[in-house]
Structures are given as C-alpha cells and as structure tokens.
Amino acid sequence: MRISDVKTFLVHDPDRPDRNYAFVKVYTDEGLTGLGESGINGKELALKGLIDTYAPILRGMDPARIEHIWQTLWRGQFFRGGHVHSAAVAAIDIALWDLRGKALGVPVYDLLGGRTRDYARCYCHVQPPDGHGLDGQATIEAMVRRAREHTDAGWRFVRYTAGDGYYPGHDGLYEQAPALRWTVDAFAALRDALGPDVEICVDFHQRTTPAYAIQLAAELAPMRPFFIEDPVRAENPAQFAYLRQHISVPIATGEQIASKWDFRELIEGDLMDYCRVDLCICGGLTEARKVAGWCETHYIEQAPHNPLGPVSTAACLHFDLSTPLFAVQELTWRPSVLADVVRTDMRLEGGNLYSGGSPGLGVELDEEAAAAHPFQLPGLRVLHREDNSVSDW
C-alpha cells in the first residue's frame, strides 16, 4: 500500500462564525483513507499551504511507516518549524494512525497498547456562548444555570475562563484587578451551587501576570479548584518554577506547546500537575504518546486540550483510553457538531465519552458535505486594557 494523495478540507462551523475546522485526508492506492485534524485555529490557510507542500513528498510512501514519516516531516528540512509546522505534522500523523487501524481492522487504542479504561471522563465549558452582552453578575448566574444543567445530566467536571463577562457592554476589554474579583465571585457561586463533589477547573488563559496569577490562585485555593490552567504565557517555562513557590493549587498547562522538547523543562522540573497536550498541535498521536510517557515518570496526569471538532475528539479519546495516567478530557464537541460532515462512532453519556470500537479512529469525512461549509476567513479577537494597550487573549 502506498500514499496516493493528501488533501486538506477547511470547513466552517455554521453555528460558530469565528470557527473553522481543518481536516486532512490521506488517500492510498488501495482505496483506504485516513482522517486527521489540525488545531491551529485562525491559521488554517497557512496550514493548508504547508500540507500542499508536503503532499508531493508523501505520495508513494508506505503509510504504515508512521514514525519514519513523522521524522521525515519534522527533521527532513533545514529550517525548523513552529506551531503551524507541528500542527500540519499532527494532522498527517493522526490520519496515518486512523489509516493503520483501518488496514489492520482494529481501533487505534489497540495499536497504542489497548484500553486502560472503559471511557474518558470529560469536562464541559459553562460560560454562556451569548454572554458578552450580560453584566458580570448576570454572566455568573447564567454560568450556574448551565453548570447545573450539565451536572444534572451526569457531568462531574466543569470549567470556566478567568475574567470573561465582568465588563458589561465592553466585549474585548480586560483589566486584571476587576477580572480577578469577578473570577473569585464566579467560583464561589459555582461551588455553592454544585457542592463539594463536582470538580471545577479555572482557565487563566495566560491573561494574568505572575503577580495577579499568584493573587488569584490564593483566593481560589480555599474553594479547592481541580486545577488552574495556564496562569502565565507558555514562552517561558522557567516562570512556572517561580509560580511553584507561591501557588499551592494544582497547575495545568501545555496547550500551546508544539513538541516534546518544549515540554522538557515543565516535565523535568515538576512544574505542572496536569499536562494539557494538544494532539492536533503537538505532533499528533506519535508525539503525544512520547510526552505522556515522559510525564508518567513524574506522575503528571494527562488532561488533553480539545476545543476542536470530531476528529480531534476521536484522536483524544483513543489517546485517553490507552494512556495510564489520565485525569480528564476537555470536550466542546457534541454529537450534533458537523454531524453531516464527519460520521463518528463515539457516544457521549453524561460527561463520559465512549468509543464504538470501529477500526481506526471511527471517523469518516463526507467530502461533498464538507464542501457545503466553505472556509470563512475569521478576524482577530483582540483583548485590550482600558488604555487600549493589548492584553493577552
């Protein structure tokens, strides 16, 4: 069997005007195909250009040589890439694992060593999708209602983002001090409504400086967050060593990290408690497995980043099922998301995600349906301070 072609399908989400999905399909001369997804939201055109560059290199290669192809794409050129490069490799890699599972007639989790659990427990986002017109208290009340709806349906983990919704009528404005106060009030309301048994995660979204991250973590600590996520930007892992001296609650990070080499300092320094590897950015299943194995030696559990579509979700599920140290899976996908474009065997029961056990990842792309949702160039969502300087997104 040989690779005959590689194509990118950029699909706009009709329910989310700012969201496109980037699916990559690998074709073979025997008719089998594999499907992957990229996680580089907002840079899909750059991704497609790189996939088009790699397609002639991949044609004629043996798709079973997954590690060899990964090394070829990663190391086979002089200039090293960044996030767009690693996301392109990730999409191709995920597609190759899907293809290999189909060729052998087994689910991908069997190729990864078999299931270590029966399902992946997941957390949902509870901020209202239309909450930007609400004032701070109304946003909190809407979050509590959404959280109760989910926990009543069986979800045991919820998540919200620090500072979203505290400035009524000023979408895009972000000041750390009032954001801190709103975030603490929101957590208190959620904890009071949901009780002690529901886990609450808070995503700082890299918006806080170290000083504010420390203050906010200290305020939240008595209410027991499951973890705080991305308290500072990812460019400087050494900063997490400073935070460790001052923050007592568990720290999750890693969603913007593109390779195992970039994870090195965080893992070897024991600077995170939960690894937020993004399979669709960090080199696919091949690279994520290596990161997870390294984390295992430091007792760091996996909590994969996944704000994406059905193929990313399927890849995460097979990773979660086969990974020994797994905590919880981020899940924004629902069975209704692009159901006409990607068919999947996954099922969601309460907050638990199950695989149907189909060969490969259990996903298939309808190319005609994908063409019915053409790519739409998104704008930039820029957060700013009151003085109009740029704030971290």
Query: Mean pLDDT throughout 85-96?
Result: 98
Task: Say whether both 25 and 165 belong to one domain.
Answer: no
Task: Say whether both 75 and 62 belong to one domain.
Answer: yes
Active-site residue identified among 255, 273, 278, 287: 255
Task: Say whether both 264 and 191 belong to one domain.
Answer: yes
Q: For this structure, is 255 an active site residue?
A: yes
Q: Is 342 a member of any domain?
A: yes
Task: Say whether both 158 and 89 belong to one domain.
Answer: no
Task: Say whether both 252 and 282 belong to one domain.
Answer: yes
Question: CATH number of the domain that 214 lies in?
Answer: 3.20.20.120
Rounded CA Rg of the chain: 21
Alpha helices of 15-114 — where are they, by DSSP H? Answer: 44-58, 66-75, 83-104, 108-111
Task: Say whether both 82 and 219 belong to one domain.
Answer: no
Instruction: State which H helix or E strand residue 152 sits in.
Output: helix 136-152
Q: For this structure, is 368 an active site residue?
A: no
Active-site residue identified among 199, 229, 273, 320: 229
Residue 55 backbone class (left: φ over 0; alpha: ψ -120 to 50; beta: rest) = alpha
Q: For this structure, is 265 an active site residue?
A: no
Q: Is 370 a member of any domain?
A: no
Q: For this structure, is 121 an active site residue?
A: no
Active-site residue identified among 159, 289, 305, 318: 159
Using pLDDT thresholds of 50, 70 and 90, give the confidence band for residue 130: low
Q: For this structure, is 276 an active site residue?
A: yes
Phi/psi at 96 (5° precision): -70, -40
Q: For this structure, is 229 an active site residue?
A: yes
Task: Say whether both 341 and 222 belong to one domain.
Answer: yes
State how many domains the chain has.
Answer: 2
Task: Say whether both 223 and 330 belong to one domain.
Answer: yes
Question: CATH number of the domain that 85 lies in?
Answer: 3.30.390.10
% of residues, the chain, pLDDT over 70: 97
* Residue-range definition of the domain harbouring residue 81: 3-109
- Let me know: does 10 contact 22? Beta carbons within 8 Å: yes
Task: Say whether both 217 and 345 belong to one domain.
Answer: yes
Using pLDDT thresholds of 50, 70 and 90, give the confidence band for residue 173: confident
Instruction: Give pTM, 2 decimals.
Output: 0.96
Task: Say whether both 71 and 130 belong to one domain.
Answer: no
Active-site residue identified among 93, 203, 230, 287: 203
Task: Say whether both 264 and 307 belong to one domain.
Answer: yes
pLDDT tens profile 343-381: 999 999 999 999 999 999 999 999 999 999 999 988 777
Q: Is 384 a member of any domain?
A: no
Half-sphere exposure of 294 (CA within 13 A, CB side): 20
Half-sphere exposure of 109 (CA within 13 A, CB side): 24
Q: Is 233 a member of any domain?
A: yes
Q: For this structure, is 155 an active site residue?
A: no
Instruction: Please state, in angstroms and rounded to a whole number, the distance separating the CA atoms of residues 362 and 323.
Output: 18
